[in-house]
Structure 1
Amino acid sequence: MWRPLVAPQRTRKIKMLKDKSILVTGGTGSFGRAFVARVLEQYPDIKRLVIYSRDELKQFEMEQQFPRSRYRGLRYFIGDVRDAARLRRAFEGIDIVIHAAALKQVPAAEYNPFECIKTNVMGAQNVVEACLDSDVKCVVALSTDKAAAPSNLYGATKLCSDKLFIAANHIQGDRGIRFSVVRYGNVMGSRGSVMPFFLSRRHDKTLPITDPRMTRFNISLQEGVDMVLWAVENAEGGEIFVPKIPSYRVTDVARAINPDCEFEVIGIRPGEKIHEEMITVSDSLNTVDRGQFYAILPSSDILDPASYCERTGAVPVPEGFSYNSGDNDHFLSVVELQALIARHVENAKDHG
């Protein structure tokens, strides 16, 4: 039976957050809201927690859930990662930055390529430079499985973003700042994912399937938050962390939602893969196993693999290793998917 990722993280306080000021770019998105909820649950009197995003309506709605009258350290900053000057101002006095802002809809990125580049690449560089121009000490950037051997523009921009954050460790000088990246798969129930789409059509006799062979990695929103918090505490700077998570077959998701449905095969969308990768064979040359996570170390001299393994207890992966949703060791069964979907639906009701 598969066990949730880093479950103990939720029951103990994260020491790194005590008396710290934290900023989350894209703070009104699905991850941002879950991250803020976790931090405020553990540190309701946190020194400062800045929600940085460009959507004033979402900020207004979020403030109804997390009012400043109750959480004195909360700040709601309207701003875009494309705006370097605004970032520099927002980062004043910040200790930890979680970079979650991105344009991530694959079809929209294919149709509006440079808009995606301006946010995901140029915005990432703006974040890096604003961190270097301030007193930030820890940066964790969110990535995606689509950044490994990308087949679409969104994945390519996130790969470029990953490179920018990792390379920033070269130019931090004596500032003592750590830049790292977390890369994980599809977040169950996130906007644009297959599960809410199937749920919206659960009473139909036929569900559209892009390809019956299609598989995806799966991680819950809370597990994504756990992983970022783990990286805040444990990253040395320069790693791309990848979680060990299960896969699912898209056809099994459909059957979990409507066991009697028939499939209509409509073909994959432009830039879409049959299976997702998180670690390629090329990446494996620099990849080590840290227990619940893999760490892709930089090919430059930011981190020495031998000494890194000695310090952390990590073990190099075998030669030719790759991490692919189609070849994963564990697939969620229809029964497991039904339980996860039921939990997601219940949580959605609880949050409005």
Structure 2
Amino acid sequence: MLENSSILVTGGTGSFGNSFVPMTLNRYNPRKIIILSRDEMKQWEMAKKFQGDPRVRFFIGDVRDRDRLYRALDGVDYVVHAAATKIVPTAEYNPFECVKTNIHGAMNLIDACIDKGVKRVVALSTDKASSPINLYGATKLASDKLFVAGNSYSGEHGTSFSVVRYGNVMGSRGSVIPFFMSIRDTGVLPITDPRMTRFMISLEQGVELVWHAMQDMVGGEIYVKKIPSMRVPEIASVIAPEARQETVGIRPGEKLHEQMIGIEDAPFTYEYDEHYKILPSINDWNSSKERIKNGKPVAEDFVYSSDSNKEWMTPEALSAWIEANRSHIGAI
């Protein structure tokens, strides 16, 4: 599907884009990948990695700017929407800006993709969109709903929209692993709550989930990858076994455990070998055989949360992952 195609990635200079672009170039050899983002310095740094590759293009723009999106989407076949205001405390203190990017930006992109005849769009979501307690999660829940509903009015244009949702991305900029690694020499690691758990997914797994969604989607599905959990104090112990762990309290808007599927979504959720799929509650799409395929319905009280997860990452597995990825942890 992606071979010889034109792909646009919004927010493409972030952690996801820095993995998606080289992996997709190697796997599918698309005709063109366009990176749309508003930070020219990040584009400058990223462009160095692909110098001389005519398949990679860079486009300064913002999802808040509807007209710029229309220009960027000329001739584009597929879109991956990764642009977001996503730091929880930043969103709490700058709510208007978060809404402009995460909600208004989603609306702009949906309209532009339909009008420009884009074939398929996959939007990146977050565990925080499931039963949200912070503004970031609330805006991403709204964004998810917008992308799902976008399938209702794409009409004869035929643009399809779906969403992928995953939790803590291991080693990404701003996440807990590079943070702990950066301060381990102090001998003290701050733990917000010793009971805290997090899902653990690699950037490579995140990219593969987007590929799968792009191939499998009919429109309106939310894909949730099956991934292991880990307790935050265990993560700290792997990174700095000699350091003292100091409980500092949960930050504004922070959850004790990550949740990717809530009990309210259980009636519309189906299980597959490597992922779950939440189908839309609108338009009877949750009973669509074309969308369900070979999925099995989950239990009516099903919840997919990091504390009740069946799969757990061992300290040995995390240590091996850190050793294998040490050179670029926190760099992207």
TM range (shorter): over 0.9
- 1:335 is matched with which residue? 316
Report deviation, 1:302.
5.7
Q: Which runs of 5+ in 2 are unaligned?
A: none
Report deviation, 1:307.
1.8
1:235-314 matches, within 5 Å, as: 235-301=217-283, 303-305=285-287, 307-308=289-290, 312-314=293-295
Residue identity opposite 1:23 in structure 2:
L
Q: TM-score with structure 1 length normalisation?
A: 0.91
Q: Decide which moves more: 156-165 or 335-344.
A: 335-344
1:58-77 matches, within 5 Å, as: 58-67=42-51, 70-77=52-59
Residues 276-318 of structure 1, C-alpha deviation per residue, up to 9 Å, x if partnerless?
Answer: 1000000101101122110100001262425246x61111111
Structure 2 contact 171–177 (Cα < 8 Å) conserved: yes
CA-atom RMSD in angstroms: 1.5
- 1:131 is matched with which residue? 113
Cα distance in 1, alignment partners of residues 32 and 164 from structure 2: 23
Cα distance in 1, alignment partners of residues 32 and 205 from structure 2: 23
Cα distance in 2, alignment partners of residues 192 and 72 from structure 1: 31
Structure 1 contact 148–277 (Cα < 8 Å) conserved: yes
- 1:157 is matched with which residue? 139
- 2:206 is matched with which residue? 224
- 1:20 is matched with which residue? 5
Structure 1 contact 308–314 (Cα < 8 Å) conserved: no
- 2:91 is matched with which residue? 109
Structure 1 runs of 4+ aligned residues shifted over 6 Å read none
Structure 2 contact 259–305 (Cα < 8 Å) conserved: yes
SS at structure 2 position matched to 1:327: coil
Alpha-carbon spacing, 1:300–1:195, altered in 2? closer, same or farther (3 Å) = same
Residues 106-135 of structure 1, C-alpha deviation per residue, up to 9 Å, x if partnerless?
Answer: 000000001000000000100000001101
SS at structure 2 position matched to 1:192: coil
Q: TM-score with structure 2 length normalisation?
A: 0.97
Residue identity opposite 1:322 in structure 2:
V
Cα distance in 2, alignment partners of residues 43 and 260 from structure 1: 45
User: Out of 160, 172, 196, which is 2:178 matched to?
Assistant: 196
Matched, 1:48 2:26: no
Cα distance in 2, alignment partners of residues 64 and 302 from structure 1: 48
Structure 1 contact 187–221 (Cα < 8 Å) conserved: yes
Report deviation, 1:94.
0.5
User: Out of 6, 11, 14, which is 1:29 matched to?
Assistant: 14
Identity across the alignment (%): 54
Cα distance in 1, alignment partners of residues 12 and 80 from structure 2: 9
Residues 29-80 of structure 1, C-alpha deviation per residue, up to 9 Å, x if partnerless?
Answer: 1101111111222345x3221110001111111111112xx32232210000
Structure 1 contact 211–267 (Cα < 8 Å) conserved: yes
Cα distance in 1, alignment partners of residues 187 and 82 from structure 2: 37
Alpha-carbon spacing, 1:273–1:104, altered in 2? closer, same or farther (3 Å) = same
Residue identity opposite 1:60 in structure 2:
W
Residue identity opposite 1:342 in structure 2:
E
Q: Which runs of 5+ in 1 are unaligned?
A: 1-15
Residue identity opposite 1:312 in structure 2:
K
Residue identity opposite 1:331 in structure 2:
W
Cα distance in 1, alignment partners of residues 46 and 188 from structure 2: 37
Cα distance in 2, alignment partners of residues 177 and 346 from structure 1: 39
